[in-house]
Amino acid sequence: MIDAGFVEMAQQLGTSTLVLGCAFWYIRFLNQTFDRKEQEHQLEREKLRLEASEERKRFDEKDTASDIRVLELQKSSYQSLMGIMENTTKVLQDLHTSINELKIIMQQETKNSK
């Protein structure tokens, strides 16, 4: 069961020294456990950091694609608006010309009817 050498060592060193040795061994065990858990946490933090970095990258790519689509939409809307403005300007010029022609015709008819 218990080694005879261990019993003899315990008798020679004394109970206090044996308790101090066991306490040292327990502290060493706790320290190793803490170091192992710290390494696990560090690996987990690194994994989360990489995942967050990849997520930011994907978000930036989506954001850039959305920005490009918004710029294209703005450009096409501006071009459509300019086409409408040109057509409206032409219609107003034609309307002005027609009103002037109608005015001249009305003035001539008024002179002829007198």
61-98 per-position pLDDT tens digit = 999 999 999 999 999 999 999 999 999 999 999 999 99
Give the per-residue pLDDT at 102: 92
Average pLDDT, whole number, for the chain? 90
Q: Give alpha helix (H) positions in the chain.
A: 4-13, 15-113
Angle at which helix 15-113 crosses helix 4-13, to 10 degrees, equals 90
Average pLDDT, stretch 23-37? 95
Give the per-residue pLDDT at 12: 78
Q: Do 28 and 20 form a contact (C-beta atoms < 8 A)?
A: no
Give the per-residue pLDDT at 14: 79
40-59 pLDDT, tens per residue?
Answer: 999 999 999 999 999 999 99
Q: Above 90 in pLDDT, residue 112?
A: no
CA distance 93 to 87: 10
Q: Which residue do the tokens 């967050």 mark?
A: 52
Residue bearing the bigger pLDDT, 98 or 15: 98
Give the per-residue pLDDT at 109: 86
The number of folded domains in the chain is 1
**Tokens, residue 10:** 């315990």
Residue-range definition of the domain harbouring residue 108: 4-113
Residues 6+ apart with CB under 8 A from 21: 13
Q: Please report, for residues 57, 63, 81, the alpha-carbon distance to residue 68 in angstroms, rounded to integers and kept in the order given.
A: 17, 9, 20
